[in-house]
A and B are shown apart, each in its own frame.
Chain A
C-alpha cells in the first residue's frame, strides 16, 4: 500500500471564510429555514381547513338526520330498552358530555390509581367540568 503522510489525515475540508460572509450566510440560512417551515405551515393550514370544513359538513348532515328522526311520530321511535348488564356489573354509568371512550379511559385510570379491580368499583356518573 502506498500510504500518504499521516498529516494528510487531518487536512481541513473547505476553505476559510470571511467573517462578514459567514454572518450573511448565517442570517440567510436561518431565513431559509423559516421560509421553508412557514411555507409548510401555510400548506398545513390549507389542508387542515379543507378537512375541518369536510368534518363540519359531515356533522351538519348528521345533525339534520337526527332532527328528521326526532320530527317523526313518537310511535315510530323504538321504545327505550333497558339493556342487560354484564355479570358482576354494578349497573350503567351516566355520562354528561363525556364520550364513551374517554369515560372508559377515566374509569381505567381511577382503577389503576386506586389499585382496585375495575369490577369492584361503582361509577355512578362522569361529568365534564367546564
Chain B
C-alpha cells in the first residue's frame, strides 16, 4: 500500500481540496452565509423554526456539492434542471430524481410538488381564528390593499430585466407569506427559490423594524390614538360556515388557488366544526412540525453556490424589501381612507396588518397603537386584516399562477 498515493486520493476525494478548484471558493462564501443565517435564526430568533432549517440545508448543500461531478452530494441542481427541461428525456421524471438524487433531492420533491406549502397552510388554517374577520368584513379591504407591494415589486422586477415568471415570484415576497412564496416560486421560477425563500422569511422576521417607521410616517398622532369599538360576537355556526364559503368563492374565482386556499380552509373547518379536535390538534402541532422540518432543509438545499451567488440574488433582496414596504403602505393608505370615511372610527394602523405575516403584523399595529394611546387595544381589530392578508396573498399568487403558469 502506497501511503502517499492513498493520502493523495483521500485529499482529491475530500471537500477541502474542492474549495481550491474552479469556483470552489463560492462554496466557502455560501458556508459563511449559512453561518450568518444560523446566527440570525438562533441568536436573533428570526423565524427560527424555518430559518435554522434553511440555513443548515444551505450549509449541507455547499459542503457536499461542488459541481455536476459531485456524486455524493445531498442535492443535485442539474437533476432538477433536467426535470424542468422539456427537451430532456428526464423531463418531469421524479423516478430519475429518486434513482440518482441525494437525501435532499428526495425531500425536495415535496416542495416541487407543492405538498409542503399546502400542508403548512393546513396547519395555519387550524391555528387561525377568523372570528375578527367575520365580525368586521371590511377588514378584507385592508387585506386586499396590502397586496400592493406584490404587484409593484413584480413591475419593478420586470423593469430590472427579470422574466415575467421570475418577476411574479419576486413580487409575491410582498405578500409576507412564506408558504405562498415557496409554492408560487417552485411553479414559476424554481431557480430563484433559495433567495426568494430566504428574503421572504428574513423580512417577515424584520416586520417589527420595517413597519413602524412607515406607520409613523403615514399616520398622524390623532389617527394613531383612535380607539375602536369592540367587535360583535361571532357565533359558532358563522365560524363553521366561513371556511366553506371562502373555499367555494375563492376557488371558483381562481382555481389555481385551490391547493393553498383549500388546505387553509380545511384546516380551519377542522378547528371550528367541534367534532374533529384530534385532527385539528395533529395538523396544528405534529404535522406542522414534521412539514417544517422537511420544508426548511429542502428549501435551504436550493442555495447551491453556483445558482445563489449572483447579482440577481442582491436584486431579489432589494425588491423583496420594496415589496414589503409598499404592501405596508398600501394597507395604511386604505386604512386612512377608512378612517376618513367612517368619521374617525377606524384606526389606520390596523391597515399595515393586512400583510399576512400572522400574527406579527397585528402585534406591530397593537404596539404602535398603544404607544400613541396606552389604553388602546388594537390587536383583535388588527387580526381581521391580518388573516384577510393570508387570503389576499393566496389570491394574488393564484392570479400570477393563472397568468404565468403553464
Binding site for B on A (CB under 8 A): 1, 3-4, 6, 8-17, 19, 22-23, 25-27, 29-30, 32-41, 43-45, 47-48, 51-52, 55
Contacts and interface: CB of A to CB of B under 8 A. Distances in A.
Contacts of A37: 140-141, 143-144, 388, 391-392, 395
Which one of B80, B151, B159, B403 has the greatest number of beta carbons of chain A within 10 Å?
B151
A22 B400 CA distance: 12
Contact of B148 (A12, A30, A35): A30
B81 A25 contact: no
B349 to A, nearest CB: 20
A38 B143 CA distance: 10
Contact of A25 (B154, B241, B242): B154
A22 B35 CA distance: 37
15 contacts: A1-B71, A3-B78, A12-B165, A14-B164, A14-B404, A15-B164, A17-B167, A26-B154, A27-B151, A29-B396, A33-B144, A37-B388, A39-B253, A41-B141, A44-B245
Interface centre among A13, A15, A23, A26 (most CB of B within 10 A): A13
Interface stretch (B116-124, B185-193, B205-213, B272-280): B185-193
Contacts of A34: 141, 144-145
A9 B78 contact: yes
Interface centre among A8, A23, A55, by most chain B C-beta atoms within 10 angstroms, is A8
Given A22-B159, A22-B167, A36-B253, A13 B190 contact: yes
Given A11-B85, A29-B399, A32-B395, 12 more contacts: A1-B100, A10-B307, A12-B163, A19-B158, A22-B155, A32-B399, A33-B399, A37-B141, A40-B249, A44-B137, A48-B135, A51-B238
B82 interface: yes
B52 to A, nearest CB: 26
B307 A9 contact: yes
B306 A6 contact: yes
A37 B158 CA distance: 26
Interface string B146-186: 01101110110011011111110000000000000000000
A52 B80 CA distance: 54
Given A36-B250, A47-B241, A13 B188 contact: yes
Interface in B207-266: 232, 235, 237-238, 241-242, 245-246, 249-250, 253-254
A40 B242 CA distance: 10
A8 B78 contact: yes
A47 to B, nearest CB: 6
B82 A4 contact: yes
Given A13-B191, A19-B158, A36 B395 contact: yes
A19 B245 CA distance: 37
B88 interface: yes
Contact of B137 (A6, A29, A45): A45
B256 to A, nearest CB: 12
Contacts of B242: 44
Contacts of A27: 151
A56 B237 CA distance: 16
B191 A10 contact: yes
Nearest to A23: B155
A38 B154 CA distance: 23
Sort A-B residue pairs by CB-CB distance and give the 9 closest, nearest first. A14-B165, A22-B158, A44-B137, A14-B163, A26-B151, A3-B68, A37-B144, A37-B140, A9-B77
A35 B392 CA distance: 10
Contacts of B253: 35-36, 39
